[in-house]
Chains A and B, each alone.
Chain A
Amino acid sequence: MEAFTTHTGRAVPLRRSNVDTDQIIPAHWLKKVTRDGFEDGLFEAWRKDPEFVLNRPERQGATVLVAGPDFGTGSSREHAVWALQNFGFKTVVSSRFADIFRGNSLKNGLLTVVLEQKTVDALWELTEADPTVEVTVDLQRREVRAPGVTAPFELDENSRWRLLNGLDDISITLREEEHIAAYEVSRPSHKPRTLQG
């Protein structure tokens, strides 16, 4: 996983709430068996409209998605995170994320930043007034900065440490092998097994 320390880039204002993962990446894209090549499926239905914000020339190359509340609801598909990353987004800002989406994003190094809606509103106004404005998401200081905006954000210390160092969860867990083995020995015999005998 790529480490995330600080990122500065232009923003895309997505003024919609309840953006579900079916909108982020429609189901027919889930048939791929790799983690890349999802960029063309990102917001596929909405991108058919030339006026959709992601299609606007001034938004090309932007890397910070500023979305409405309840971003990433619905299906658990991690492809939604890959699609955002494949497209070039490094971070998503919203006042509220769906739990599974948030977990998926942090595991893949896509930093999801929770800010108060009034700060999200301020970022929308800034980037709509001037699309060249850059937004900085600083994970070291846990702070979002843009002209006239300085907003701290919360992220638990463990997730922050993993992101800053680009550490993969499985190798961290496998250091606990002894604990896992000890737990396995203690499991009662009535627990279900998928293989008989």
Chain B
Amino acid sequence: MGRTLAEKVWDDHVVRRAEGEPDLLFIDLHLLHEVTSPQAFDGLRKAGRPVRRLDLTIATEDHNTPTLDIDKPIADPVSRAQLETLRRNCAEFGVRLHPLGDVEQGVVHVVGPQLGLTQPGTTVVCGDSHTSTHGAFGALAFGIGTSQVEHVLATQTLPMTRPKTMAITVDGELPEGVTAKDLILAIIARIGTGGGQGYVLEYRGSAIEQLSMEARMTICNMSIEAGARAGMIAPDQTTFDYLKGRPHAPEGEDWDAAVAYWKTLRTDEDAVFDAEVVIDAARLAPFVTWGTNPGQGAPLSASVPDPASYEDASERLAAENALTYMGLTAGQPLREIAVDTVFVGSCTNGRIEDLRSAAAVLDGRKVADGVRMLVVPGSVRVALQAVEEGLDKVFTGAGAEWRHAGCSMCLGMNPDQLAPGERSASTSNRNFEGRQGKGGRTHLVSPQVAAATAVLGHLASPADLTEAAAPATAGV
């Protein structure tokens, strides 16, 4: 019988298989950051163990890094201690590190792909649930906990139970103004935050094949929000073109051998998935969340749902709690929800293409009075590219703040936070209670919706701007 993409990559990494035990999988790439690694290094030190494969390990600083005044000492002593701990650990064990201020620094899931380290058919892990991002290249990539970080550092392997596979087929063409972010939010609303549990998702179909690598990363990134540890997309010419010439992409004969192998990484015609979901791309629209988990979303044209309309008692209760926390009323049109903060960035939407699309909407327009807009590039390289293209000027010209790279307001571990009661339209991945700051309220949106929302001051799509003043200059 044929095999799925996930099964092929899995099988290629089995170091040892025994009846009744998890498979021992080899890990091709281990990404580290400051939050989930200190206790792992501490464990190694106590046991007197070295890092087994320094050549398959790389670290960056992202969660705690400030996005202002990065040349000054970090004000929060606890953040500073965590970054210093990572620096000390990397120096002691010999791990390659890109610290704050380095040109390769950035959000770990932006850095791996842009260096060309994330490649098709590899296994990628990181102590971070959004490691699923790297599945966009046809890699089997998943988040792990700190004990597993220590395990990979010590052995370059992980004992894992083979997951089930789910096909999410998206056929047709996405309508104008509908992005990868809208698509993944709609998928999560459809299958629920637990719908992908125990599965590796494979996104396929004509709508997926047409997407850029950045858009594919946005989709795979949020697989975890549907409960799936990993999401994958079969590599194709778009993938190869993205990788060619990157610092760590194979060269010469190795490139040819790699591409030949990568081309085998497609689900066989006769392979059987454990579950299948089919989505019609043409029927999608800009999508936003109204609640406190990423599955609580609806098209922008809809209204806040009535909790009483849920048949399932726990969903009804979750919706009631969400409306209370979010300060919303059932029946309120989503377009009428006013925000005071707009955040563009994160491992979901902090890549160059995301910044371009937000800038295209903002160009010649102004951020509404009373709205604070933060634009945080996903990495220093993304920032440099944006500056080269003049995007930073578009953002600052519109009244947005152009910041340094990092995770920033996605989870507010650095000073970029919402104050209690503040409401954001955010291109990040989680609208959990307090995620962006204690008492903060988050609506997950695409970069385009974020930009249009910044201009109008309430949740909006670029199409809503046509009635406002036309842009003074041509689009970026």
Contacts and interface: CB of A to CB of B under 8 A. Distances in A.
Interface in B32-64: 35-36, 38-39, 42, 47, 49, 53-58, 63-64
Interface string A57-100: 00000000000111001111111010000000000000010111
Contacts of B396: none
A108 B16 CA distance: 24
Nearest to B147: A107
Contact of B21 (A76, A96, A158, A180): A158
A173 B145 CA distance: 17
Contact of A190 (B36, B76, B258): B258
B154 interface: yes
Interface residues of A, number: 58
Given A22-B434, A31-B413, A170 B47 contact: yes
Contacts of B78: 28, 31-32
Contacts of A107: 145, 147-148
A192 B116 contact: yes
A45 B438 contact: yes
Contacts of B255: 190
A22 B433 contact: yes
Given A18-B293, A74-B432, A173 B318 contact: no
Nearest to A103: B145
Contacts of A26: 434, 438
Contact of B28 (A45, A68, A192): A192
Contact of B128 (A33, A76, A98, A170): A76
A76 B28 contact: no
A96 B117 contact: no
Interface string B1-30: 000000000000001100011101010110
Contacts of B314: 17, 68-69
Given A69-B194, A99-B197, A104 B154 contact: no
B197 to A, nearest CB: 6
A176 interface: yes
Contacts of B254: 189-190
A67 B15 CA distance: 37
A20 interface: yes
A169 interface: yes
Contacts of A17: 314-315, 317-318
Interface residues of B, number: 83
B16 A179 contact: yes
Interface in B393-448: 411-413, 430, 432-435, 438
B122 A191 contact: yes
A76 B127 contact: yes
B272 interface: no
Nearest to A191: B28
A127 to B, nearest CB: 18
Contacts of A184: 26, 53, 156
Contacts of B15: 176, 179-180, 183
Interface stretch (B79-87, B368-376, B449-457, B458-466): B79-87
A16 interface: yes
A73 B148 contact: no
Contacts of B81: 31, 33
A7 B283 CA distance: 52
A132 to B, nearest CB: 27
B146 A78 contact: yes
B55 A193 contact: yes
A189 B315 CA distance: 50
21 contacts: A18-B194, A18-B293, A20-B293, A20-B430, A22-B411, A22-B430, A26-B434, A27-B412, A30-B413, A45-B438, A75-B411, A75-B430, A78-B39, A78-B147, A99-B198, A100-B145, A170-B154, A176-B16, A192-B119, A193-B248, A194-B96
Given A28-B413, A35-B39, 5 more contacts: A22-B411, A78-B145, A170-B150, A190-B258, A195-B96
